[in-house]
Amino acid sequence: MAAAFTLPQTARQRAVKCILIAILLASSSVAAHDAGSIQRAIESRYQHARTLKAIFFQRYSDGHGGVAAESGTVYFSRPGRMRWEYESPEKKLFLVDGTNVWFYVPADHTASRAKLKESSDWRTPVALLAGKADLSALCRSVEVVDSGGGASGTSDQPSSPDHALLRCVPRDSGDAAGAPSLVLLETDPEARLVRVVIREAGHAETEFRFGNWEENIPVPEEKFHFQPPAGVAIVDQQSLTGAMR
């Protein structure tokens, strides 16, 4: 019976070290490639869709124990238009018509209006869905979040094993008042956004979850125009910060 061939100890150690180094280098390269691939896939899917429709769930935490949750249906139309129809627990409307941002609560009989460029709500990742921004313009850096990097059940982990989670540090983070400090974007295997988490100063956090995406469907033009009902007062504001909460 032939004797088993064994490397000398020092040779085995060198071989193991080389293998480990190769694995680390390959892992680093794949992670960077994954981040870029995921980013390009998200941008391609949403920037080439003329219209979009989805159901959404929104959860806002003020960082001091206060939590609010809402849900409804959202529509997007390029270029730069959005319509958020809040249905529960209260009917509300948040609409971007390409020039103005409108926020309307029927029970208040008042509609707030602000210029698009003055609304800090527009500087959120949902702008990507309306074709107004890409991740490179929005983010100073983008990286893949390790699925084991956060505590189980927290927003720092993908909600499903086959999902990808990107961490975005906004370009204006720390520079502009009310600018997000961190954004998380979760996608499914088809590069559809399933979750967006926006973190702000004071541990405030807004989370959007999306489902039942429909792309390039007919959406009536009037969906993206706001006509105040009779008896509704219009209040012009410099900013609609927090209107979507």
Q: Give mean pLDDT, residues 1-12.
A: 46
Residue 26 domain-assigned?
Answer: no
Res. 130: pLDDT tops 60: yes
pLDDT digits (tens, 9 = 90+) for 8-51: 445 444 444 443 333 333 333 334 447 888 888 888 888 788 99
Q: Give mean pLDDT, residues 186-201.
A: 90
CATH number at residue 104: 2.50.20.10
Residue 21 domain-assigned?
Answer: no
pLDDT digits (tens, 9 = 90+) for 167-186: 988 877 665 556 788 889 99
Residue 244 domain-assigned?
Answer: no
Residue located via tokens 């009989």: 109
Residue 9 domain-assigned?
Answer: no
Q: Taking all residues of the chain, what is their mean pLDDT, rounded to a whole number?
A: 78
Residue 22 domain-assigned?
Answer: no
Res. 207: pLDDT tops 90: yes
Residue closest to 85 by CA, chosen among 68, 66, 104: 104
- Rounded Cα–Cα distance for residues 242 and 112 (Å): 12
Residue 58, H or E segment:
strand 51-61
Tell me what pLDDT residue 116 has: 80
Determine whether 147 is exposed, middle or buried from the number of CB atoms within 10 Å of its CB (0-12, 13-18, 19+).
middle
Residue 145 domain-assigned?
Answer: yes
Residue 32 domain-assigned?
Answer: no
What is the domain range of residue 225?
44-236
Tell me what pLDDT residue 17 has: 40
Q: Which residues contact 179 (CB under 8 A, 6 or more apart)?
A: 120, 123, 170, 172, 173, 200
Residue 5 domain-assigned?
Answer: no
Structurally, how many domains does the chain consist of? 1
Res. 196: pLDDT tops 60: yes
